[in-house]
Chain A
Amino acid sequence: MTLLQIRLIIAAAIACLVAAPFVLNPFSITLLNYIGIYALAAIGLALLTGVGGIVSFGQAAFVGVAAYSTAWATALNGYSPWLGLVLAVILTCSVAAILGFVTLRLGGHFLSLSTVAWGLAIAFLFGNIDGLGQHNGISGIPPISIGRVALVESWQIYFLIWTIVVAILLLCYNLLDSRIGRAMRALRGGNTLVESLGISAFQIKLLTFVIAAFFGALSGWLYAHLGRFVSPGPFEAGMGIEYLMMAMVGGAGSILGGVIGAAIVTLLKNAVQDYLPLIARGASGQLEIVAFSALFILFLQRARQGIVPFLSSFLPGMKLSRPQAAAPLPRREQPPPGTLLLKVSEAQRRFGGLIAVNNVSFEVKSGEILGLIGPNGAGKTTMFNLLTGALRANSGEIAFAGRSITRDQQFHIARSGISRTFQHVKLRPRMTLLDNVLLGTYSRTRTGLFAGALRLNQAEEASARYEALQQLERVGLGDKPFELAGNLPLGNQRVLEIARALAADPTLLVLDEPAAGLRRQEKLKLAELLRSLRADHLTILLVEHDMEFVMSLVDRIVVLDFGSKLCEGEPAAIRSDARVQEAYLGGVA
């Protein structure tokens, strides 16, 4: 599909939304109002859970904080609903920021469990605070007024709700196609990947978390002023899982999925309420939740992908145009060839009683390719992790470009000019080649959240896209920039990782077993690529197993054995070194 076709579809959808109140009966409009309100909370979750991979059961609590804030401000204290909105947003986002700050360092399911915990705790609070009406809730919430018009009728607030929904959708799509959004989309690849790109995973997670809460706050504010009444019920754990269901049914990775999911779940619920009493008289209330949970479980078992991704696989693919030439991104000043770039002195790392790296020292000079080799268990990977900050050294010192990086966090090290690749390829398989490489430009670009969401970043974005295309061309993958990364064969995936690393304009490129699992032809091409990079004065540190590959390529070799440095020298000298032969082949009997 072309951009024009997509714009036409969007225009048609908006036209339908505008026409709806003039065609539909009041009940349907009320239903649409609730769909819009739930959609806002579900879009937040789609962003947090679908894009960011953080499963939260607590979204309902955020909606509740906002609804209660505005109810407190307007019904109990007589302020304007707009002031209620400000209070709701500030309070909800602050609560989210604090909770996120405390919990977002937790891994996987522990994080999700914490959302159950604070979700419950907040819901309990609503029912137990005297000033908030306890279990009776707060009634008499005034309607929202725009100018002198009070939005009392459901068709009036309908326009407000759906304007907000459409605006949020557009902002989200813009955001996800910008620098910060790409970082969010990378979160599912794991912390090591994200940090290796110079992105602080924690910062991005916190940002995503607060944005999701912000959407929840909008939803809660509208909810309070639509129903004109709040009570603890709609913000309890059950609703938390319902929001999750909306986001996942719609297609967790898709923002539009939040809206579609909210519509399906709300309509389904409505239908269930209509028809269940016919099947089981008197027991419909109980059966409703059973039917719903059962459907959700069935969905999670059978069709996790969700509706929007399923449907869009039938649509013709987007026709995207290749990035045009643009002003280049700023480049790092490379040190002159031959200067000392990386200095490892007496680095040691222990795991309990095992000393994986034992007082290893070596240096890397600018412009050379250094190979770090050794038999299995020699401590190569541990050394690699120390260099990139994935592990901390117990003692010793690692200095890069004259500055100690021993205690730096991974993303700081990445930003200071060390780019890495992974032994087990870490790409975002559902993102295009171009987007994967664009991730590498993160540390060279500046666009923030708002600039990205409002598309104020076009000049920088064009430069970044052109840079990414150039790096793809440099490694020989420039012919299909819009292919999905997951469709590439392993050899090309490794090369794509190198392109991504190059897009960060590194001073030092560290490669973790780049030849592992490659066929002979692929290895030869890879060696050729690395030689061409050296010709461009890039410094490369290579951890490798494949002797033939290393010997034919590198300038110098450092050999590790049992955690200690065995020797160091030029390939020919290493090849004839008796100690190295013994380490690899066993002692001469």
Chain B
Amino acid sequence: MTADIAAILAIDGIATGAVYALVAIGTVLIFTVTRVIFIPFGDIAAFTALTLAALDAKQLPGTVGLVVVLACMACLMEVVSLARAGELRAVPKAILGYLVLPLIVVGIVWLTMRFNPPMPVRIVLALLLIMPISPLLDRIVFRPIADASVLLLLTVSVALHFALVGLGLLFFGPEGVRTEPLTSMALEIAGVHVSGQTILILTAALVFSGLLLLFFDFTLLGKALRATAFNRTGARLMGIRPARAGTIAYLLGSLMAGVSGILIAPVNTIFYDSGFLLGLKAFVGAIVGGMTSYPGAALGAFGVGILESFASFQSSTLKDVIVFSLLIPILLWRSLASHHSEEEVEE
């Protein structure tokens, strides 16, 4: 391997790593606030890419159907649980939040599509459309078992991933998509060709993680989220509702995943089931940060990206085997580094 090739592989790896980093940060966000290891996160990224591709092709994206179905289910569950608790006064608000709001988003997309909107608008539409999915899934799937062990939540999360893959095939079909490049610009840095897409990916990753940092440090809502992550009961005593904090975490996380999906779609062909590997690799990064540290997760994700890039140069068929085998030493190192006293047990 020459230095040139190494440089190209490194740049490629950094670009992939940046995409993973966005998803990894979202994973950490959701895990710390809700204790759910949200495996379907990669699916959200893949669905965003598929949505954007459908919008590009002037078709109504399958996401519309998915959002409508999920919104109806979530709304129904919320109304039933409110009715059972005798809190009928809260029903209009629940309908507004779980049904009307997602439907408004769908309506906006449906209306705007008729005017052949330019690329930036399509991207915003795709993100808007993808963002309600995880909060709705949270309401349907995780809220009823919010107090269960991390292990049970993980099992549910894995099952949910498979459900989403099936839904993905149903709503998006089996064809892979590759969206048009966001930029055709290119740069030459120290003799190495760097595509504009790579620069865009890195910039987007930096901007969005920077925004998240600002949100956490300078807004009350952000601080409320951090408080929930730190201590759920304590946060609840301070008047923060963990369920609401969870919804916000899912919204923000989906935004991160959505952005990563849009960034990767012009580079890789995305299928309805591409999300699993994307999510899991991001997840390997998140584990480097112990599932709690944002910088750790981002660093880990870059590491995975670079490793994958070099591994695929050595053996393209075995690169996934290499990446996942790597998780075991990382986990070992993490478990040695963090001393957790007693695992939670469920009888």
Residues of A whose CB lies within 8 Å of any CB of B are 53, 55, 57, 99, 102-103, 105-110, 112-114, 116-118, 120-121, 124-125, 128, 188-192, 237-238, 241, 244-245, 248, 283, 285-290, 292-294, 296-297, 300-301, 304, 429-430, 486
Contacts and interface: CB of A to CB of B under 8 A. Distances in A.
10 contacts: A107-B335, A108-B340, A109-B150, A113-B154, A113-B327, A124-B321, A128-B318, A191-B342, A286-B170, A293-B160
Contacts of B347: 188, 429-430, 486
Contact of A114 (B166, B170, B327, B343): B327
B144 A238 contact: no
Contacts of B37: 109, 113
Contacts of A107: 335, 340, 343
B162 A289 contact: yes
Contacts of A301: 141, 144-145, 156
A189 B345 contact: yes
Contacts, number: 134
A233 B158 CA distance: 18
Contact of A190 (B150, B152, B343): B343
B94 interface: no
B325 interface: yes
Contact of A296 (B144, B145, B159, B169): B159
Contacts of B345: 53, 188-190
A109 B154 contact: yes
A57 B318 CA distance: 21
Interface residues on B, range: 35 or more
Contacts of A116: 158, 280
A241 B321 contact: no
Contacts of A120: 280, 320, 324
B324 A118 contact: yes
B162 A238 contact: yes
Contacts of A117: 280, 284, 324-325, 327-328, 331
B109 to A, nearest CB: 23
B166 A286 contact: yes
B317 interface: yes
Interface in B291-347: 317-318, 320-321, 324-325, 327-328, 331-332, 334-335, 340, 342-345, 347
A118 B345 CA distance: 24
B163 A108 contact: no
Contact of A110 (B145, B155, B284, B331): B331
A241 B332 CA distance: 23
Contact of A192 (B149, B283, B342): B342
A110 B160 CA distance: 19
Nearest to B272: A286
A112 B154 contact: yes
Given A120-B320, A300-B145, 4 more contacts: A120-B324, A191-B342, A241-B155, A290-B170
Nearest to B170: A286
B165 interface: yes
A429 B347 CA distance: 8
B167 interface: yes
B228 to A, nearest CB: 19
B227 interface: no
A112 B37 CA distance: 11
Given A117-B324, A128-B317, A290-B170, A297 B287 contact: no
A118 B276 CA distance: 15
Contacts of A289: 162-163, 165-166
Contacts of B141: 297, 301
A163 B209 CA distance: 59
Main secondary structure of the interface of B (DSSP, over half): helix
Nearest to B140: A297
Contacts of A108: 149-151, 340, 343-344
A139 to B, nearest CB: 21
Given A128-B318, A190-B343, A293 B162 contact: yes
Given A103-B332, A289-B165, A297 B160 contact: yes
Contacts of A292: 162
A508 B160 CA distance: 51
A110 B169 CA distance: 30
Most buried by B among A105, A286, A288: A286
A118 B162 CA distance: 18
Contact of B328 (A118, A430, A486): A118
B321 A128 contact: yes
A445 B276 CA distance: 48
Contacts of A188: 345, 347
Nearest to B152: A300
B100 to A, nearest CB: 25
A157 to B, nearest CB: 30
Given A109-B151, A241-B162, A290 B327 contact: no
A112 B318 CA distance: 23
Contacts of B156: 297, 300-301
A106 B332 contact: yes
Most buried by A among B141, B170, B325, B342: B342
Contacts of B317: 128
A293 to B, nearest CB: 3
B301 to A, nearest CB: 16
Interface in B129-186: 141, 144-145, 149-152, 154-156, 158-160, 162-163, 165-167, 169-170
A243 to B, nearest CB: 12
A474 B145 CA distance: 43
Contacts of A57: 158
Contacts of B165: 289
B238 to A, nearest CB: 25
A106 B320 contact: no
B158 A241 contact: yes
B331 A124 contact: no
Contact of A287 (B166, B283, B328, B343): B166
Contact of A106 (B154, B155, B335): B335
Nearest to A292: B162
Contacts of A237: 276
A304 B340 CA distance: 26
A304 B280 CA distance: 26
A193 to B, nearest CB: 9
A237 B325 CA distance: 15
B166 A121 contact: no
Nearest to B149: A108
A105 B332 contact: yes
A245 B162 CA distance: 13
Contacts of A121: 320-321, 324-325
B159 A112 contact: no
A290 B167 contact: yes
Contacts of A296: 159
Nearest to B153: A109
